[in-house]
Amino acid sequence: MHSEYLYLFDTLKMFVLFLRKHQIKDYLQLKHQEIELELTRLIRIANRLTLKRDKKAPHWPEAGVKKRRDSRMS
């Protein structure tokens, strides 16, 4: 619910800025920077989680598992 209010507020703010065209570019550049920072933060988190997962589990699913002999080849 809180995020819906923030979205509504951003939408209204954008509408007002469109009425005053000289501020739109600055606003969009600021939003662009915020999105890039958030994306960078999420990528770092994903990389950390991937590294932790790779350290815990073998890289290949067949590691440590004996290969079955193909019965068709006998």
pLDDT band at 73 (very low <50, low <70, confident <90, very high): low
**pLDDT at 70 (0 to 100):** 55
Residue 48 located in a structural domain = yes
Neighbouring CB atoms inside 10 A of 14's CB total 14
Q: CB-hemisphere CA count at 13 Å for 30?
A: 7
Distance CA 7, CA 2 (A): 9
In tens, the pLDDT along 17-72 reads 777 777 778 888 999 999 999 999 999 999 998 887 777 665 555 555 555 555 55
Distance CA 5, CA 11 (A): 10
Domain that holds residue 7: 2-56
Residue type, 20: R
Q: What is the number of domains present in the chain?
A: 1
Residue 47 located in a structural domain = yes
Residue 61 located in a structural domain = no
Chain-centre distance for alpha carbon 64: 33
Residue 64 located in a structural domain = no
**pTM score of the predicted model:** 0.48
